[in-house]
Structure formats: C-alpha cells, structure tokens
Structure 1
Amino acid sequence: MSDEQVDTSRTVVKTYVPAYQKDEWREHADELDMSQSEFVRTMVQAGRRGFPEQPTPDESKETSTEETTTSDGTDTSDGLEQRVESVLTAGEYYSWDELLAAITDNIEERLDETLADLQEENVVRYSGRNGGYTLVT
C-alpha cells in the first residue's frame, strides 16, 4: 500500500484491563514522559513484532497441525500461553483470580456490552419467559 493510500485519521480503540494493570501502565507511561495512549500504542506495536503474521482465512485452512503445536505437542492456536506469559512479569506474583481477570480481559463486562449492542441492533433478543437470549430470526 502506498503512502497516498494509508488512512492516517484517528479512531478510538476500547479495551478493558484490570485496574492494577492500568495503574502500572500509567506509571510506566509517566516514567517515559508519554501519554497513556501513546504508551499503549507503542507497546502494542512493539509486541506485534514478536508475533508471526496471521494467515488469511484461506491460508489457515491449508495450515498443518504442526504449525499450531509446540515441540511437546501443546496446542498454541488460541495464544493462551503467550497471554499468560505477557501478564506475568519476572519477580511478580499474581493470585489465580488476578491472573484469570487479566487473561479474560473482564469478559463479563465485554459480554454485557456486546449483548446490549446486539439487542440494540435487533440481532439478539432476551426473553424472560424463556430464560435467555436468542438470535432474532
């Protein structure tokens, strides 16, 4: 893609992290004399260098199982191992609950917001009578 085709407009990216993690990021950003946005953007870009490019959907169908397993046969296709390692830092300890919260990125809140959005878009409906959610058909 040439420089003329690159969209340089700004857009919002929203994520959820445990409060302690945000505090650590804010402190680190302050130490580096960076805004929080600049810090997160920089760290994400730096972290991306450590991950191989993702195949397109067509390419991933052709991927052998050897490419999604480690030498000991552990499945790494969901990236959980890397996510755990990225949360844990040398010399720091996290309780099970803290680690679970960091790894799941506050999934309950994300699910609640996603369901609200889908209901607003009339894609999903909640039925108290039936006791749950369903797709609108």
Structure 2
Amino acid sequence: MSNKRAIAYPPQEQYDNWQDHAENLDMSVSQFITGMVEAGRKKFDAQITPDESVSELRDQRNDLKDELARTRERVEKLESQLHAGERGSMINHIRANPGCTFAEVQQEVAEKSGERLMRYVEALSGEKIERRDGKLYPVEGGE
C-alpha cells in the first residue's frame, strides 16, 4: 500500500499537544495523526449505559442506610448488655462502695450474674431448653 500526503493546518498549540502526545507514544506526528483519525472513524459509541438506574441506586442506598441503622442499634444494645454484665456490676459496686473488699465485689457479681442467668434460662425455656424435675435439658431438634 502506497502512502499519500495529507496536509492539515492545526493551530500551533494543538500541533504542539499532538507532538507531545506522539512522543509519549513513541510515534511520529504523522503516525499519531493517522492513528487518531482512524480511531475517530471507527464510530465507537461514546454513550455509557449505566448498570443500574438512579432509582435502583437510591433504593439500594436506602436499604443500606436502614441496615446500618439496625446494625448500630444492635451494637448499642450489645454494648449495653456487656456493660450491664459482670464487669458493669463490678464497676458499679466499687463506685457505690469505695474501699470495698475483693470478697464484697465477688459476692455482688455472683448475685447479679445469678439474676441474669435466671433471665437467660427463662428466655430460652421451651425454645432451646426445657425443665424436667428441676433440671435443665436441651429441647430435641432445638439447635
């Protein structure tokens, strides 16, 4: 295939930009212009089709916000339960009774944990555990 001459008269600034770009691509200006013209002639579609519509994205965002709110609420509950546990009982007792002995703290924690244990047993009764003759057993199939 023989080469033909094509002449263009771009403004100096545009030519300088082409020349810089061509150098970066390790091409001559002629090769660069030829390549860019052919790329432009391929009639590629510059339209980008989004994967999801704006309303779908809004719905997803709202679902995630709701899930985040529920998760934060659950974390807050769990943190409260943790603080109300043995550690919380111990700290509360020491604050209420500065200078108390270890044995007094131990007694307080034992009493509070016994109360919590009873609430847990009551909550699980029938679903996960059952009482028979004053003893606790797992419910069959209550995994």
TM-score (norm 1): 0.34
Larger CA Rg, structure 1 vs 2:
2
TM-score (norm 2): 0.33
If each structure's helix is expressed as a fraction of its own residues, which one has the higher value? 2
Give the number of the structure with larger relative contact order, counting CA–CA contacts within 8 Å between residues 6 or more apart: 1
